[in-house]
DNA sequence: TTATTTTTTTAGATTTGTCTAAATATATAG
DNA sequence: CTATATATTTAGACAAATCTAAAAAAATAA
C-alpha cells in the first residue's frame, strides 16, 4: 500500500508519460507536484525501492508495470468520483476536480466496484476522459483538437485537455459543453482564432482555447 | 484546518466525553487511538495550542466549544457516508465503518451538504446513531438496553452500542436488526441471558449481547 | 501517613516528506 | 572542444507524528 503522497507522485508520473514513451524528468514532476526537484529525487528513490518506477540517475523515470497499474487505479477512482459528484450530487464539471483529488485516495476495492455499478459503469468522466475498467483497460480514442479543424468541418465536442475551473467555466458560458455539435466557419489568419456555429449561434474562440477542445469529426 | 490525525483525536475525545462530563484521560485516548500515552500527551499539547481542548497537566482534557464543533462535524460526515454506503451502494451494516473512517476526513462543506440532501436528510445512521445537522444539532434520545427490560415488556430495536463487525454480523444472523419488534419472555437468573420473541421466533441472547442492543419500549 | 501502584509527562530517537544550498552531471552554444 | 547554462543529485536541516525508557505526579493501599 502507498501513502497519499506516493499515490500522487505515481499519478503525476503516469499523466506525464501517457502519449510519450520518453523518461519523465525530475523537474517536470516537481512542477506538477508543486514541490522542489530535490524532494522529487528523494521520492523517486523510494518509489524505485518499491519497484514502482525504473530509475537511472540523471535519466528520469519510467513506471513499472506495477506502478502503472497503481496509477491507473487512482485515475479510475478519480474519474468515477467525478461522475458521482456530477451525476448524483449535481456539481458542475468545473467544481469536482479538487474533491476528487481527495476521494481518489480512499482505499477500498469493494467501494470502487460498487460505485462503478451504482453509476452504471460509465465510460467517460465529466470532462470526456476515459474511465479505466477494474482491470485497468480503457480505449484511448485519439481526438482532434478544435484548432486543427478545417473551414466547413463539423464536429462533436468529446472532451477537453485543460481542466482548470476557469477554463471549464468559460466553456460553459460559451455553451461549449460535451456532446454539442459545432461547425467551423472561419479561421482568422491574424491570430488563429476560430469562428464556429453551435446551436445556431456564432461564437468566436481564441486559438488557445480551441487547442484544448477535443473533437470527433 | 486539522490533519487527519488531529481529527481522529478530536473524534475520540468527543466519544469519550459524551455522556460523561469528567475530563478525558490520557490513557483512555491512547487505548482508542491504539497508540502510546506519550504520543497522546504530545498531541494534547498541540490541540491545546490550537484551542481545541482545555488541558491542565495530569488533569486530562475537555473539548472546547470549537473542538466539539469540529468533532461533531466529523461524526456527521462519518454517519452520512455510512448511510450512503448502505442505502445507495448496498453494503451491509457491518461493512461500512472502516470505509467511513476514511471518508469522514474528506474536506468539502459543499460535498457534505449535497450528500445530506441526496440521502434525503437522514436522521440516523445504519446503526441507529443520530446524525447531527449542519449546525451540529441532533436529539440524543436515551434508549433502554435490552438487558434492562423486564419480563413481558415489548420493545423496538433502535440502535446498538457496539459497532464491531463480529457483533453486527451476529445480530444480523439472529434477525435482530433495526426496526424489529421484540418481546422479552424470560430472564435467566443463572447468567442473565434473556429469551425474546422476534417475528414469532424464540431467540436466546446472552447478557453481554443484550447490553449492547438499544430499545424503545 | 508512608509505601506501592497507576497514570502521566519528559527526554531523546525515528520515520516521512519536505526544504535550501552546494556539488555534480548533462545539454547547448560558440 | 571548451564554456556556459540547465537539470539533477547530495548533504544537512526541519516539522509532524510516533516510539521507548526514565522521571514525576497522583491515586490507592496498608
Ligand atoms: Mn479531475
Ligand atoms: Mn476529469
Ligand atoms: Mn461507524
Ligand atoms: Mn455508525
Whether residue B142 is predicted with pLDDT greater than 90 in this model: the reply is no
pLDDT band at B20 (very low <50, low <70, confident <90, very high): confident
B contacts of A103 (beta carbons < 8 Å): 106
Q: Which residue's C-alpha is at the least distance from the C1' of C25?
A: A58
For chain B, give every domain's residue range: 4-63, 144-216
Condensed to tens digits (0 to 9), the pLDDT of residues A101-143 reads 999 999 999 999 999 999 999 999 999 999 999 999 998 888 9
* B144-216 CATH fold: SH3 type barrels. (2.30.30)
Condensed to tens digits (0 to 9), the pLDDT of residues B173-214 reads 999 999 999 999 999 999 999 999 999 999 999 999 999 999
Residue B31 confidence (pLDDT)? 96
Would you say the C-beta of A25 is within 7 Å of strand D?
yes
Least confident range of A25-34, A46-55, A135-144 = A135-144
- Sequence-distant (6+) residues with CB within 8 A of B86 are B92, B93, B96, B126
B38 CA from D26 C1′ (Å):
17
DSSP strand pairing (A53-55 vs A61-63): antiparallel
Q: If you count them, how many residues does chain B have?
A: 217
pTM of the predicted model over 0.85:
yes
Whether residue B19 is predicted with pLDDT greater than 90 in this model: the reply is no
Q: Taken in order B24, B27, B32, B33, is the CA torsion positive or negative?
A: positive
User: What mean pLDDT is predicted for residues B149-160?
Assistant: 96
Whether residue A75 is predicted with pLDDT greater than 90 in this model: the reply is yes
Half-sphere exposure of A14 (CA within 13 A, CB side): 21
Closest CA–CA distance from residue B167 to any residue of chain A (Å): 21
Class of domain A4-63: mainly alpha
CA distance A99 to A74: 14
Buried-state track A142-164, b at ≥16 Cβ within 10 A, e below 16: ebeebbebeeeeebebbbbeebe
Residue B81 confidence (pLDDT)? 98
User: What mean pLDDT is predicted for residues B92-118?
Assistant: 97
Q: How far is the CA of A97 from the centre of ligand 1 (A)?
A: 4
Whether residue A1 is predicted with pLDDT greater than 90 in this model: the reply is no
Residue B51 confidence (pLDDT)? 96
- Alpha carbon B3 to its chain's center: 22
Q: What percent of chain B has pLDDT over 90?
A: 95
Residue B84 confidence (pLDDT)? 98
Chain B residues contacting A via beta carbons under 8 Å: 85, 88-91, 95, 98-99, 102-103, 106-108, 110-111, 114-115, 118
A135 CA from D20 C1′ (Å):
45
User: What mean pLDDT is predicted for residues A31-48?
Assistant: 97
What are B86's three cell numbers? 448502505
**D chain positions with any atom within 7 Å of a protein CB:** 7-12, 16-22, 25-26
Residue B66 confidence (pLDDT)? 97
CB contacts < 8 A, A to B, total 37
A4 CA from C19 C1′ (Å):
20
Would you say the C-beta of B38 is within 7 Å of strand D?
yes
DSSP strand pairing (B144-145 vs B213-216): antiparallel
Would you say the C-beta of A74 is within 7 Å of strand C?
no
Kindly report the average pLDDT of chain A as a whole number: 96
CA distance to A124, A134, B143, B167, per residue, from B161 (Å): 42, 37, 10, 10
Closest CA–CA distance from residue A108 to any residue of chain B (Å): 7
Cβ proximity of B175 and B201 under 8 Å: yes
Amino acid at each position: 500500500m502507498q501513502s497519499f503522497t506516493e499515490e500522487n507522485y505515481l499519478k503525476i508520473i503516469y499523466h506525464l508519460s501517457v502519449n510519450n514513451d520518453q523518461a519523465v524528468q525530475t523537474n517536470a514532476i516537481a512542477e506538477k507536484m508543486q514541490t522542489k526537484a530535490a524532494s522529487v529525487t528523494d521520492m523517486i528513490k523510494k518509489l524505485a525501492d518499491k519497484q514502482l518506477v525504473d530509475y537511472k540517475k540523471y535519466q528520469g523515470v519510467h513506471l513499472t508495470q506495477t506502478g502503472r497499474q497503481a496509477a491507473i487505479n487512482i485515475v479510475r477512482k478519480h474519474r468515477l468520483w467525478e461522475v458521482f459528484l456530477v451525476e448524483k450530487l449535481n456539481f458542475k464539471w468545473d467544481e469536482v476536480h479538487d474533491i476528487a483529488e481527495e476521494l481518489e485516495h480512499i482505499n477500498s476495492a469493494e467501494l470502487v466496484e460498487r460505485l462503478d455499478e451504482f453509476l452504471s459503469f460509465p465510460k467517460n468522466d465529466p470532462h470526456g476522459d476515459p474511465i479505466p475498467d477494474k482491470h485497468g483497460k480503457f480505449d484511448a480514442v485519439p481526438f482532434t483538437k478544435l484548432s486543427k479543424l478545417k473551414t466547413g468541418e463539423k464536429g462533436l465536442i468529446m472532451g477537453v485537455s485543460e481542466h482548470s475551473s476557469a477554463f471549464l467555466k468559460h466553456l460553459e458560458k460559451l455553451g461549449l459543453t460535451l456532446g454539442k455539435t459545432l461547425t467551423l466557419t472561419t479561421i482568422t489568419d491574424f491570430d488563429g482564432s476560430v469562428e464556429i456555429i453551435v446551436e445556431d449561434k456564432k461564437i468566436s474562440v481564441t486559438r488557445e482555447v480551441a487547442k484544448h477542445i477535443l473533437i470527433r469529426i
